Amino acid sequence: MCPKEARRPGVDSRSILTDPGGGTSPQRGEGHWDSLRDWWLRGRYQIFLYFTCAFQNISCGIHYLASVFMTVFPKYTCRPPGNVSRVLFHNVSNWRLDDIWNLLPLSHEDHVVVQLQNGEIWELNRCYRFRRDNMSTLNYDYNGHKSGSPCLDGYIYDKSKWDSTVVTHWDLVCNREWFARLIQPTFMLGVLLGALIFGYLSDRVGRRLVLWSTSTGMYLFGIAAAFALDYYSFMIIRFLLAIVASGYLVVVFVYVTELIGMKARTWASIHVHSFFAIGTMVVALTGYLVRTWWIYQIILSTVTFPFVLCCWMLPETPFWLLSEGRYEEAQIVVDKMAKWNRASTCQLSELLSPDVYGPVGNKPPEVNEHNLLDLFYDWNIGTRTLIVWLIWFTGCLGFYSFSLNSVNLGGNEYLNLFLMGAVEIPAYVFVCLGMDIVGRRNILIISLISSAVFCGVIMVIPKDYYVWSVVTTMAGKFAIGSAFGLIYLYTAELYPTMIRTQAMGSGSMVSRAGSIIAPLCIYLSSVWIFMPQLLVGILAFVSGMLTLKLPETLGKPLATTWEEATRLDVEKDGSSGK
């Protein structure tokens, strides 16, 4: 049976078309649609769709963080121009150059002295090699004349941890090191582009087609990256992989929101990110078990395959079909849901006004166009927008900085990354429980300020106490992950219906800028080891303090007009005055 409040033949469909999936309060006259969603939620069909789509989010988490181990820089030195008969490193002598890594760590100032079978003596360091003119003695220190040359015969790498990485496969070291440094920022640039492209396409061609195409693309591009012939083809494939992975991640959030009932929508939408965290843990586990980069890439890409096989079962969301005027197809989807759920179906003709559902109603009502400038409707809204953008940027920058830097904390880098992923799941539970108790804004302030404090604590922990560094980093990731997970919902509640999508999209774009900068921020640790924590800590503290200027949305109906959106600031000022 349809809910009684939904069975009103005079209902205006404009509320659906302007805010599908976003939801408004019953006070706004849309309680019947929320009740309809709750009715849909009671069945197994929505559960099947939710976990099917959420499972694919694991693949997104995998590809976003896969480069952590693919771009590992092992210890290396120049390869000599011939067969080695003897090796000297300080006062330690050996017969095999490959065993030098077991003797002492090779720093920038150190070099290795080798004697070739033809009697030549060479000094080898990371990026240059020198041939000694005097071949009478094999001493580590030499003050005589020697001639230098670059590493024309390649390099010798330490294979104690990884047999092969992208760095060792294409010799991305010395003057080619910046090629390796560009791999993750270029991927994140593709993430930004994918969010723009597929966010637009999902509103034009539908959510289902985008989910199909992006999932298939993730599988094909993921496998193709493992068989790239050279560095440039690898970068192009990874760029395309980033575009489709980002497209799926953006659209699946909308897809799930439009299919889940109001009572479970918050938990369901936020915990979609938990599956992304599982992907991070899969990366850590696979990196620990597989030490050849192209095999590692193939194994990670196969996670997408089960979804590719069953994604054809995903229906289009009824809300998108209704917004396109395809009422008969929407009715078919509703009937299919009812059949799976063993319930009576709802007739959409009873919910929509006759002029909309009738033969002449083949086009949705016209909606006024809005653009990015509307986010600066007045001084208060403009200030709100800038603060929200800063929170998006800080959350994304901190989120990826903590994850990417986890392999540099000391100890077991695989365990570190696994813990960085695992700590996200309780963070999202904390958000879901806390935001309905103390409010969205208060949880956001607590999370941002806490992450800033943890960044400061990390900077004062001695290097030898890496266990405490890992624990504190986990706490920082917990805090920034809570903020990043909450800002999605909080942004939607801060803006009225007609501009809500623009607000979400612009915030996502700004956050992608943070994800592009995050790997570059990690590279600044070569300047000062705590530079990433310093930058994230400052931004988190500033963002947390500025969040005090934002209104609280707990218990408030979603705004549908600018007047209602600006009234949130008035109510905030009034409550603070009291």
Q: What is the pLDDT of residues 89-132, one digit of tens each?
A: 776 776 676 667 666 555 556 778 888 888 888 888 888 888 88
Please answer whether residues 52 and 307 qualify as being in contact, where contact means their C-beta atoms are separated by less than 8 angstroms. Answer: yes
Retrieve residue 322's tokens.
């209704």
Rounded to 5°, angle at Cα 168 from 230 and 77 = 135
Q: 131 or 498: whose pLDDT is higher?
A: 131
As a whole number, mean pLDDT of residues 134-162 equals 81
Rounded to 5°, angle at Cα 493 from 487 and 494 = 85
| Domains defined for the chain, CATH in brackets | 41-74+181-314 (1.20.1250.20), 77-160 (no CATH), 321-349 (no CATH), 374-568 (1.20.1250.20)
Q: What is the pLDDT of residues 61-84, one digit of tens each?
A: 999 999 899 988 888 888 888 888
The sign of the dihedral angle between the CA atoms of 228, 229, 232, 233 is negative
pLDDT at 51 over 90: no
pLDDT at 542 over 80: yes
Please answer whether residues 375 and 502 qualify as being in contact, where contact means their C-beta atoms are separated by less than 8 angstroms. Answer: yes
Please answer whether residues 566 and 381 qualify as being in contact, where contact means their C-beta atoms are separated by less than 8 angstroms. Answer: yes
Please answer whether residues 393 and 400 qualify as being in contact, where contact means their C-beta atoms are separated by less than 8 angstroms. Answer: no
As a whole number, mean pLDDT of residues 550-560 equals 76
pLDDT at 350 over 70: no
Measuring CA to CA, which residue among 415, 389, 403, 413 is closest to residue 522?
A: 403
As a whole number, mean pLDDT of residues 300-305 equals 90
Q: What is the pLDDT of residues 162-187, one digit of tens each?
A: 889 999 999 999 889 889 989 989 99
Q: What is the pLDDT of residues 352-363, one digit of tens each?
A: 555 444 443 444
Please answer whether residues 522 and 401 qualify as being in contact, where contact means their C-beta atoms are separated by less than 8 angstroms. Answer: yes
Please state, in angstroms and rounded to a whole number, the distance separating the CA atoms of residues 3 and 336.
Answer: 18
Q: 16 or 513: whose pLDDT is higher?
A: 513
As a whole number, mean pLDDT of residues 6-15 equals 37
pLDDT at 139 over 50: yes
What is the rounded average pLDDT for all residues in the chain? 79
Burial per residue of 221-236, b for 16 or more beta-carbon CB atoms within 10 angstroms, e otherwise: bbbbbbebeebeebbb
Q: What is the DSSP string of 276-343?
A: HHHHHHHHHHHHHH--BHHHHHHHHHGGGHHHHHHGGGPPPPHHHHHHTT-HHHHHHHHHHHHHHHTS
Q: 318 or 450: whose pLDDT is higher?
A: 450
Residue 318: the pLDDT is 77
Residue in the block written with tokens 């997104």 = 60
Residue 362: the pLDDT is 47
As a whole number, mean pLDDT of residues 292-311 equals 88
pLDDT at 471 over 80: yes
DSSP-H helix ranges across 132-206? 166-169, 177-181, 183-205
Q: What is the pLDDT of residues 232-285, one digit of tens each?
A: 999 999 999 999 998 888 888 778 777 776 566 677 777 888 898 999 999 999
pLDDT at 230 over 80: yes
